Structure 1
Amino acid sequence: MVAAVISSPIAASEPRTTRSTNRVRTPRVLRRVGVAALAVTLLAGAAAPATAAARPDRPELQAAIQSIVDQGFAGTQMRVRDQRGEWVGSAGVSKLGEPAKPATYGRFRVGSATKAFTATVALQLVAAGQVGLDTPAADYLPGYGLDRRITVRMLLQHTSGLFNFTGEFYPDRFEPGIPVTGEEWVDNRFHVYPPAELARFALAKPTRFEPGTGWSYANTNYVLIRLLIEKVTGHSYVDEVKRRILWPLKLWGTEAPELWSTEILGPHAHGYYRYEDASGQKQTVDVSRQNPSWLSNGGDMISTTQDLSTFLAALLGGKLLPAPLLAQMLTPYPTSGYGFGLTMMAMGPSCGGTLVAISGFINGYGQLTYSTLDGRKTLSASVTTGDKDVDLIPEGAKAVQKLLKAEFCTG
């Protein structure tokens, strides 16, 4: 549903919160989809040839992705780029009831990895002198009644204290936002949520804390950044992402969807959502088609492992931002590990040192993309949920641990 920030190492196709008090026991259904309540969100060199095929000399990687399926996920695909070249593989099924594996060049919903694209566009505006990081966001969005203490930097780093429109976790309770779980979400999964509507909904709620005094992951922050980008440029957010990132990097398999979009075009694995209906019976529904405007640019993009690897490597390689702004983007808030739209993970010298992660979850789909700081070694994987009850907190953690160990760790 949102990126599930995991601070410890546990979250163009080829052929064309916390304040540290933010821990609370939540119902199982919310824990499965509300991975955003975790410690921090499940989180270029030249692109490898688009025709690269799975190589037979990486059995540890194939075993790692097979273990994900063995834990109850429907399917997974993964791409690794390192000094040994490029490896791609998949396991499980693309669609329940059919034998075909997920396509290694397939598209999928990326969840909160979308925030890294949004943050990059915002920082490009900072580089151009059109936006100030420490300027009150209200100066760019005068019609929303924003507290003038909230700066652009606070929105990018989740330190504004604003209510999360997808629901807010407090020390003693969960305060629902718009419908994001259960039968209510299933029945409303094609509903269109304009970004301004989401922002106003959240701004009508009490804040978690005074601006700048804590950290709490909130999709509201990034919807406001979207509105700010549109106000400053005079263009739609979708057009700005295309013009500034997707087209220059030739990310032909990546889409920032329009407000009415419900489809994943091209080859893709099906994602499923498991819930209890009004009678208490478990149901499984195919949610490959849904309107992701319920997350807006907090998690609505569609991409491929190839494109996400290319984007992250290009970002870290200095192709999208000047070095001083990239350094600020990569500077995490102390208690969260979160920079601007991405997560920094200290892995130790035997596991690649510091890794940069863009990862996320949206009902039916999860993905994680990791890179070393120099962008020379990347791992990008996507998973789909199926008809098994998989608790994403412990099972997702185990899956990520295996992937990181297989690719980044030695000895």
Structure 2
Amino acid sequence: MREQSWQRFRGTGRWRAAGRYGPARAVAALAVGAVALGIPAPAVAHDAGPGATAQARPDAVQRGLSDLVRTDGQPGALAAVVDGKGRTRTYTAGAGDISTGAKVPADGRVRIGSSTKTFTAVVVLQLVGEGRIGLDTKVDTHLPGLLRGKGIDGRDITVRELLQHTSGLPEYEDLVDEDILDGRHLDPRDLLDRALRREAAFAPGTGWAYSSTNYVVAGLIVQKVTGRPLAEEIDRRVIKPAGLRDTYFPAPGEKGIRGPHPHGYRREAPGGPLRDVTRIDPSGAWAAGQMVSTNADLNRFFTAVLDGSLLKEPQLTQMRTTVPIGDTGAGYGLGIMSRPLSCGGVYWGHGGDIAGFETRGGVTEAGHRAVAIAVTSVPPDGPPTKHLEVLVDTALCG
């Protein structure tokens, strides 16, 4: 992606593009200096299934994780790779807690940030399949009068445009970063109030710009249509059917991460001090980025999405219908992205970042290979994220 066309949000690891089908998405990076702190950075592979993966790919992934720690200064990194025979191998590198030097837990739980958007999109599309929501229905049909602002009118924005980031709704994320870090609880209406202070990026359907505001509105539609909290709908419609044992939507006021997990860190500027941001209130991300999962569970989830286990064929087809993201070769569908592979074809997935954690990965077109990788800090510049995405390509291409 052309970094010169990305706009950096103040004090965050998030990027976006301005203009028609701008070449950006929420691609944040997460980086800090375990090496600079003198912390050893072991890279350890663990087989999780019958047999072992072919040696070339595990070695490449393991080397790549070590480079993320040694070269990019990540405190910790972890990955799960599913090979063409369905065998999973997990990897770790760096430290899970820089204050103690504790190891990164194999397949530990991490905050998955915007990967949550795909979970929200799946629930919306299931409701579309049930005839309870229409993709081309206007937002005002479900939430009358909710969206009004400068160039913003819910009578002109469709559900499809929310899920595909073609609504023109402005971003709110940079306006709540400090609330998240300081542990302040925000409800969805608080998030919309922040977003509606800003002017629309463009008229609905005339451009593309990544905005988490779209998914806050989508989550509110789910709640209005079902009469149930979004977290409950995601749990019963996605998490349980897909057999995701280590995935959950944090409860209101829940600041820690359940179960084994690495610590997450934040650095404001290159070479600056690290801040442990493991305990935050993620409510400021809500339907757009609040969830916790593991790399192995993310692989199961995206595989279940693409093989039709969670969606009927018409809705899966709609989900996979993309608009281009600039000249990058990537496309954005309904809560999922396609990205080209160096070995040919594309893979499908959705990355995410939130204070302390970044995730990247996806599943190949045929569903035979999957990878999810997480790192444990937000870098103040873009190259570490590119290195992470190159490693995803390496793991999927073998």
Instruction: Give TM class, smaller chain.
Output: 0.7 to 0.9
- Over 3 Å counting, the alpha-carbon distance change for 1:56 and 1:377 in structure 2 is closer
Deviation of 1:104 (Å): 1.6
**1:83 matched to 2:63:** no
Q: State the AA in 2 paired with 1:371.
A: V
- Over 3 Å counting, the alpha-carbon distance change for 1:123 and 1:208 in structure 2 is same
What is the rounded CA distance, in whole Å, between the counterparts of 1:318 and 1:25 in structure 2?
36
What is the rounded CA distance, in whole Å, between the counterparts of 1:237 and 1:144 in structure 2?
18
2:27 is aligned to 42
Q: 1:269 aligns with which of 247, 262, 267?
A: 262
Relative contact order, higher structure (CA 8 A, sep 6+): 1
1:63 is aligned to 63
Q: 1:293 aligns with which of 274, 283, 288?
A: 283
1:250 is aligned to 243
Once the two structures are superposed, the pairs formed by residues 130-209 of structure 1 within 5 Å of their partners are: 130-145=132-147, 146-167=153-174, 178-180=175-177, 184=178, 189-209=182-202
Q: State the AA in 1 paired with 2:315.
A: L
Once the two structures are superposed, the pairs formed by residues 6-405 of structure 1 within 5 Å of their partners are: 23=5, 26=8, 30=11, 33-36=13-16, 39-42=24-27, 57=55, 58-70=58-70, 71-84=72-85, 85-145=87-147, 146-167=153-174, 178-180=175-177, 184=178, 189-275=182-268, 282-335=272-325, 337-347=331-341, 350-351=343-344, 353-385=345-377, 390-405=379-394
Deviation of 1:275 (Å): 2.9
What is the rounded CA distance, in whole Å, between the counterparts of 1:125 and 1:311 in structure 2?
18
- Over 3 Å counting, the alpha-carbon distance change for 1:26 and 1:256 in structure 2 is closer
SS in 2 for 1:64: helix
Contact 2:79-2:107 within 8 A present in 1 as well: no
Deviation of 1:375 (Å): 1.9
Contact 2:48-2:89 within 8 A present in 1 as well: no
- Over 3 Å counting, the alpha-carbon distance change for 1:106 and 1:153 in structure 2 is same
Deviation of 1:208 (Å): 1.1
- Over 3 Å counting, the alpha-carbon distance change for 1:83 and 1:155 in structure 2 is same
Contact 1:156-1:341 within 8 A present in 2 as well: yes
SS in 2 for 1:72: coil
Q: State the AA in 2 paired with 1:342.
A: I
Deviation of 1:80 (Å): 0.6
Deviation of 1:204 (Å): 3.9
Aligned residues: 361
What is the rounded CA distance, in whole Å, between the counterparts of 1:384 and 1:209 in structure 2?
35
SS in 2 for 1:116: helix
Point out the more displaced range, 145-154 or 317-326. 145-154
What is the rounded CA distance, in whole Å, between the counterparts of 1:361 and 1:263 in structure 2?
17
1:22-60: CA deviation from partner (whole Å, max 9, x where unpaired): 936648x64x612345723339xxxxx966798693212
Deviation of 1:357 (Å): 2.0
What is the rounded CA distance, in whole Å, between the counterparts of 2:100 and 2:137 in structure 1?
53
Gaps of 5+ in 2: 18-22, 29-46, 148-152
Contact 2:172-2:191 within 8 A present in 1 as well: yes
Contact 2:48-2:90 within 8 A present in 1 as well: no
What is the rounded CA distance, in whole Å, between the counterparts of 2:117 and 2:61 in structure 1?
28
- Over 3 Å counting, the alpha-carbon distance change for 1:97 and 1:263 in structure 2 is closer
Divergent runs of 4+, >4 A: 24-27, 49-56
SS in 1 for 2:339: strand
Give the TM-score taking structure 2 as reference length: 0.84
What is the rounded CA distance, in whole Å, between the counterparts of 1:166 and 1:343 in structure 2?
20
Deviation of 1:100 (Å): 3.0
Q: State the AA in 1 paired with 2:75.
A: A
- Over 3 Å counting, the alpha-carbon distance change for 1:185 and 1:238 in structure 2 is closer
Give the TM-score taking structure 1 as reference length: 0.81
Q: State the AA in 2 paired with 1:136.
A: K
Q: State the AA in 2 paired with 1:73.
A: Q
What is the rounded CA distance, in whole Å, between the counterparts of 2:278 and 2:51 in structure 1?
26
Q: State the AA in 2 paired with 1:78.
A: A
Deviation of 1:402 (Å): 3.0
- Over 3 Å counting, the alpha-carbon distance change for 1:354 and 1:282 in structure 2 is closer
**1:409 matched to 2:389:** no
Q: State the AA in 2 paired with 1:192.
A: H
1:18 is aligned to none
SS in 2 for 1:139: helix
Q: State the AA in 2 paired with 1:66.
A: S
Gaps of 5+ in 1: 1-6, 11-21, 44-48, 168-177
